[in-house]
Amino acid sequence: MSKKIIFFLAFVFYFCYLPATGQVKKDIDNKAIQQQEMLLGKRQQEELLRQQQQKILLEKQKEQLAEKEKALLRLQYEKKEIELDNEKKQQSALLQKNQLQAQYEEAVRDKQITSQKAELAYNRRWLLFLGMLAILVIIISSIIYINQRKTKRLNKLIFIQNNELEKISMVKDRVLSVVGHDMRTPLNILLSFTQLLKGAHIGNNSCGGNGTDRLGSCDQAPCNTAMTSSIVSTSTGKLSKEGPDAVEDPSDALTVTVAPNPSTTDFGLIVKSKSQAAVTVRVLDVNGRVVDALYQVGIGSTIHVGGKLASGMYFAHVVQGNKQVVAKLVKVK
């Protein structure tokens, strides 16, 4: 029961208290609204005053700005005037500079033209000199070329003539060698016959036995004979003696060996003998003239002769004391 009573009382209190509290709240709210309206009025008035002040300030600022703009325009006008004056001065200075530059360039151009004219005249003189020099060189070269051609032609003719002369000389040497060979046989016969006369085979009765036998019998030995014979070969010469008082000794013979033979340069003579006495070497042509000679040459080494001889046939005459050897030499090109 108590719970219900408490709940009922609370319910009654709630329904009685709520309307009273609602009225109080309304009064409070109305007062607050009035106060707010008063505050809003004051604020509006203050705002209006502030706006008016701001307008006044704005107008003042506008006036100041206008004055500043006028001053700025005046400064800009003055600046433009100053700039125009400076530009005029710069243009006049530039014009003077350009005039001076043009005068300087004209003077330099005149100087260059003068120097170029002088250089052209100098080049013309040089070209003239070089042209004359070239013509002179061409003339000299032509003369030299013509002379060289003439010289070559003459050299060719001389070469041909020399070849013909060499051929003729070779033919002459061959002919002379053949003639010499053909003449040597009868001369040898004459020499043998004269040796027979000297040896008393003819005209001496003491050896023949009677006055009518001039030559003696076939089996009769010669008396008082001192005959010397020479044996000559082309590459080796040997000399031996025969007689009543001498017996042939091969080791005592004088021998000469020629190498090379025929030769295109010089001849090497190798002399061999039992005696060590010096020898004399003479080189003779087919006409018997001495064309080369060496005197008092020691044996035991190669003796070189005939290095400067022309082509042909020659004879080497080697003499050692009373011994002598003749060897035939053939020089070819």
Q: How confident is the model at residue 248 (pLDDT cuts 50, 70, 90)?
A: very low
- Quick one: average pLDDT of 217-232? 38
Task: Single out the residue in 118, 136, 168 at which a domain terminates.
Answer: 168
pLDDT over threshold 80, residue 21: no
- 243 in the same domain as 134: no
- Quick one: average pLDDT of 105-116? 91
Coil/strand/helix, residue 226: coil
- 112 in the same domain as 41: yes
**The pLDDT of residue 190:** 67
- 134 in the same domain as 16: yes
- 237 in the same domain as 141: no
**The pLDDT of residue 53:** 87
* φ/ψ of residue 211, rounded to 5: -75, -20
- Quick one: average pLDDT of 66-73? 88
Q: What is the DSSP letter of 217?
A: -
**The pLDDT of residue 251:** 54
- 146 in the same domain as 235: no
- 67 in the same domain as 141: yes
**pTM of the complete model:** 0.30
- 237 in the same domain as 135: no
**The pLDDT of residue 259:** 87
Query: Has residue 195 been placed in a domain?
Result: no
| Of 75 and 211, more confident | 75
Query: Has residue 290 been placed in a domain?
Result: yes
- Quick one: average pLDDT of 64-71? 88
Query: Has residue 210 been placed in a domain?
Result: no
Question: For residue 23, how far is the Cα from the chain centroid?
Answer: 135
Q: How confident is the model at residue 36 (pLDDT cuts 50, 70, 90)?
A: confident
Task: Single out the residue in 118, 149, 168 at which a domain terminates.
Answer: 168
- The residue segments making up the domain with residue 295 are 229-333
pLDDT over threshold 80, residue 158: yes
**The pLDDT of residue 100:** 92
Most confident residue range from 10-24, 35-49, 130-144: 130-144
Coil/strand/helix, residue 206: helix
- 133 in the same domain as 41: yes
Give me the chain's average pLDDT, please: 77
- Quick one: average pLDDT of 204-228? 41
pLDDT digits (tens, 9 = 90+) for 256-268: 999 888 888 899 9
**The pLDDT of residue 129:** 93
**The pLDDT of residue 51:** 86
Tokens encoding 115: 């120097």
Task: Single out the residue in 168, 193, 213 at which a domain terminates.
Answer: 168
Query: Has residue 62 been placed in a domain?
Result: yes
Q: What strand order describes the sheet that includes 236-241?
A: 228-232, 236-241, 254-259, 267-272, 302-305
**The pLDDT of residue 247:** 38
Query: Has residue 304 been placed in a domain?
Result: yes
pLDDT over threshold 60, residue 203: no
Overall number of domains in the chain: 2
**The pLDDT of residue 112:** 92
pLDDT over threshold 60, residue 179: yes
- 164 in the same domain as 38: yes
Distances (CA, A) of 25 to 18, 33, 98, 180: 10, 12, 99, 189
- Quick one: average pLDDT of 121-143? 93
Q: How confident is the model at residue 165 (pLDDT cuts 50, 70, 90)?
A: confident
| Of 317 and 8, more confident | 317
Report the C-alpha gap between 5 and 11 in whole angstroms: 10
Query: Has residue 119 been placed in a domain?
Result: yes
Query: Has residue 309 been placed in a domain?
Result: yes
Query: Has residue 258 been placed in a domain?
Result: yes
Q: What is the DSSP letter of 307?
A: T
- 238 in the same domain as 161: no
| Of 305 and 184, more confident | 305
- 147 in the same domain as 40: yes
Residue 140, Cβ neighbours under 10 Å: how many?
Answer: 10
Residue 311 belongs to a domain with what CATH number?
2.60.40.3080
**The pLDDT of residue 30:** 78
pLDDT over threshold 60, residue 233: no
- 306 in the same domain as 164: no
**The pLDDT of residue 236:** 40
pLDDT over threshold 60, residue 213: no
